[in-house]
Amino acid sequence: MTDIPKRQPSFALGRLGDLWIVLGTDRPLYAGAIAVQALAATFSYVVPLVPQAVIDGVFSAPGTRMGAMSAWIIEKLGGAEVVRADLWKPGVVIAVAAVAAGLLNVLRGWMTARAAQRSVRRLRERVHARLVRLPVPFFDANESGDLLQRATSDVDTVQNVLANQIAEMGRAILLLLIAIPLMFAIDWRMAIASTVLAIPVVAFAGLYFRTVSDRFRTKDEAEGRLTAKAQENIAGIRVVRAFGRQSFEREEFRERNAAHRDADVRLFDGLSQFWALSDVTCLAQILVVLVVGLTLVSGGSLGAGEFFFFLFATNMYIWPIRHLGRMLADLGKAAVATERLHAIMDPAAEDAGDEVRHEVRGEAAGGASRSASDNVPAHAVLPAGGIRFEGVRFAYPRGNTVLDGVDLTVGAGETVAIMGPSGCGKSTLAALLLRFHEPTSGRITIGGTDIRSLNRSLLRSRIASVLQPPFLYSRSIRENVAIVRPELPVAAIAEAADSAAIHDSVLRFQRGWETVIGERGITLSGGQRQRLAIARALVRDADILLLDDALSAVDGDTERRILNAMRARRGRVPTIVIAHRLSTLAEADRIVVMEHGRVIDHGTHAELIARDGLYKRLWAIQAELEDEERVAVASDGEAPR
């Protein structure tokens, strides 16, 4: 909703060509369905054509006018005498035509459904494939609710139009289009009389739906306000009770409820005018056929059977075509929906990452068109060695500078902790290392190789990372931990979970490893989520370990257990730990202090507590606690107020 406003359905159908693109390889099937539809409509008209012939050729007084078509039909049925004797014959012809029309409609329905649903399946898959490969800045710039709506309800709209609307429209239009030549072949005067109001009916319906769509919108808005009130009230029910505001709330709700009711009534008033007027117009069309037709019949220039045909045919096409207005409005919606899908489909996907052509031990990524998730060979590894940030700057587009020239080295096997106040840019370092963003200038190397020359998937799959906030998928705990290595035996998963100090908590759940996160009210605490995310990172056989504030919600003892276990498990891979807790920081080989996008200090624990600065102030907290305890114990009786 950010960049493309949600538009009302309009008649701007320019984007409808996209529907043709969506159909892809199913175009012949879909076009074939329309052809079958035409055939079915033709058979439908056999139904009134046969009685026409019978009435004019068999029942009427000899010498009555009989059209060429009727004469042909009577002849095919064996002549007037035969038909007169065997009246079941024309009945059978009608029955056969009716059944044929029915069967053709079934065939058409199957063809349309197959073409539409296959295309929509491909569309869904393409939208998803594109969505997960869009670069991270895209997700920073767009609201997730809006993206979700585009990926779901806009696709549903396309599906509905392809599967139902176009078929319905096709039926209405074909019924009219096939009737017109037939009618002109029988009698041009009656043909004109039978269609004179058809165009006004369609035009009126189209115009009218534009007006009524305003009322639809008003009603939707009123409903939105009503929902917002209910939501607000229920979410705040405790406060409502504590303030005794039940009647106030009911009054406010009633106002919006009444506004919604009134908007609904107005909408129906509009609809009642539309349907009443369009019904009267359709009936007027039938009356025209009756009066003109019977005038001609009594004048002897039109057969009674021919008149019957016009009356019957008019009844067949006039009612469906008045839906055309609404269908056109729906097509407008589809045009808007495909336009909205372009917001996902048009931006460039993340490339595989070979902007800087670089020989990486024969691992050079393919063409720029290769997407980030192209399979990485299982044996692929990152260049060995440490990580270097060299003069790295980063600013968001049209935003503040976040990193202002960071130089930082993490030696092979070294654990570096990064600390600093909120907004100092420490998490951005993690995002840059994972290539979620690209530095504005400067570069990041691993073992001397610029990471821009590394395949993104390779890079990310070789970095075991825990991001903040930790994200878990709504599937079982086992599947979450083993998500990158589903083949892993439970024993290996349990081992990783044990290192992350989550194993015991998992076993306490009723369904243990098979507990599904988010299902039936199963929620995990922040600490549990963090520990599962760590376990997930640990099952991965990685070259670099990256923890972004990954232990903030676990208590001190657990934290120490995890840090020790990780060290023991992983051997010594370069490790970056972003943290704000002294107990975490002190475990690192080296501590880097950041402020305002720069590294302002670094050194070992011993070095940093020897000089003034943020780190020393953290260290001083322990002493403050001891003071605090002394004061508390010394003070007597009542606490100061």
Partner 1 sequence: MNEVHDDLDAPAPGSISFGLWKRIIGTALEDRRSAVQLVGGGIGIAAIESARPLLNAAMIDEAIAHGMGERFMWLAGAWAVLALCFGAGVFLFIRAAGRISAGLAFTLRERAFARLQELQFGYFDRRPTGWLVSRVTSDCGKVSGIAPWVILDTFWATTIVSGSAACMLWLDWHVAVWMILLLPVLAALAVLFQSRLLKSSRLVRRTNSRITAFLSEGIAGVRTTKSLAREGAADAELAVLTTEMEVHSMRNSFQSAVFVPVVTSASFLGVAIALWRGGLRVETGEMSPGTLVALMQYALLFTWPIIDVSQRVVDLLSAQAAAERVQSLIDTVPTIHDSDAVRAQADDFNAARITRITFENVSFEYVAGEPVLSDFSLEARVGDTIAFVGPTGAGKSTVVNLAARFYEPTAGRILLDGVDMRERPLAWHQGRFGVVQQSPWLRNTSILENIRYGRLDATDEEVKAAAAAVGADSFVDGLEGGWGFVAGEAGERLSLGQRQLIALARAFLKDPDVFILDEATSSVDSETERTIQRAVDRVLAHRISFVIAHRLSTIRRATRIVMVDGGRIVESGTHAELMRARGKYHDLYAQQFVEMRERAVLDVHG
- Write the interaction track for partner 1 spanning residues 34-53; mark x where CB under 8 A is met and - where it is not: ------x---x--xx-xx--
Nearest approach, Cβ of 10 to partner 1 (angstroms)? Answer: 25
Q: Given candidates 38, 167, 402, 591, which one binds partner 1 under the rule CB under 8 A? A: 167
Burial of 248 (0-12, 13-18, 19+ CB in 10 A): exposed
CB-wise, 225 or 358, nearer to partner 1? 225
At 185, which amino acid appears? A
At 135, which amino acid appears? P
Q: Given candidates 74, 267, 446, 545, which one binds partner 1 under the rule CB under 8 A? A: 267
- 281 by DSSP, 3-state: which? helix
Interface of this chain with partner 1, residues 480 to 519, rule: CB under 8 A: 483-484
Residue 141 binds partner 1 (CB under 8 A)? no
Q: Which helix (H) or strand (E) holds 76?
A: helix 68-76
Nearest approach, Cβ of 284 to partner 1 (angstroms)? Answer: 6
- Write the interaction track for partner 1 spanning residues 243-262; mark x where CB under 8 A is met and - where it is not: xxxx-xxx--xx--xx-xxx
Q: Given candidates 120, 212, 341, 591, which one binds partner 1 under the rule CB under 8 A? A: 120
Residue 95 binds partner 1 (CB under 8 A)? yes
The Cα 319–Cα 324 span in angstroms is 10
Nearest approach, Cβ of 76 to partner 1 (angstroms)? Answer: 16
Residue among 523, 595, 534 at smallest CA distance from 570 = 534
Q: Which stretch binds partner 1 (CB under 8 A): 183-191, 355-363, 367-375, 564-572?
A: 367-375
CB-wise, 374 or 411, nearer to partner 1? 374
- 351 by DSSP, 3-state: which? strand
Residue 617 binds partner 1 (CB under 8 A)? yes
Residue 147 binds partner 1 (CB under 8 A)? yes
Nearest approach, Cβ of 557 to partner 1 (angstroms)? Answer: 10
Distances (CA, A) of 187 to 66, 173, 183, 288, 315: 11, 21, 6, 15, 17
Interface of this chain with partner 1, residues 525 to 554, rule: CB under 8 A: 525, 536, 540
Q: Which stretch binds partner 1 (CB under 8 A): 114-122, 188-196, 387-395, 401-409?
A: 114-122
Q: Which stretch binds partner 1 (CB under 8 A): 351-359, 381-389, 460-468, 508-516?
A: 460-468
At 285, which amino acid appears? Q
Q: What is the DSSP string of 378-437?
A: TT--PPSS-EEEEEEEEE-TTS-EEEEEEEEEE-TT-EEEEE-STTSSHHHHHHHHTTSS
**Distance between start and end Cα atoms, the chain:** 51
Where would I find the H helices in 142-197?
144-149, 155-160, 166-186, 188-195
Can you name the residues that pair with 418 across neighbouring β-strands? Answer: 578, 592
φ/ψ (deg, to 5) at 376:
-100, 130
Residue 376 binds partner 1 (CB under 8 A)? yes
Q: Which residues contact 78 (CB under 8 A, 6 or more apart)?
A: 86, 89
Tokens of 406: 């960071």
Interface of this chain with partner 1, residues 268 to 327, rule: CB under 8 A: 268-269, 271-273, 275-277, 279-280, 283-284, 287, 290-291, 294-295, 297-298, 304, 307-308, 311-312, 315
Residue 265 binds partner 1 (CB under 8 A)? yes
Residue 59 binds partner 1 (CB under 8 A)? yes
Q: Which stretch binds partner 1 (CB under 8 A): 9-17, 150-158, 358-366, 408-416?
A: 150-158
The Cα 371–Cα 349 span in angstroms is 7
Interface of this chain with partner 1, residues 575 to 614, rule: CB under 8 A: 580-582, 614
Q: Given candidates 27, 39, 117, 218, which one binds partner 1 under the rule CB under 8 A? A: 117
Q: Which stretch binds partner 1 (CB under 8 A): 184-192, 205-213, 450-458, 599-607?
A: 450-458
Task: Compute the half-sphere exposure of residue 592: CA atoms within 13 Å on the CB side of its CA.
Answer: 23
Interface of this chain with partner 1, residues 74 to 93, rule: CB under 8 A: 84, 87-88, 90-92
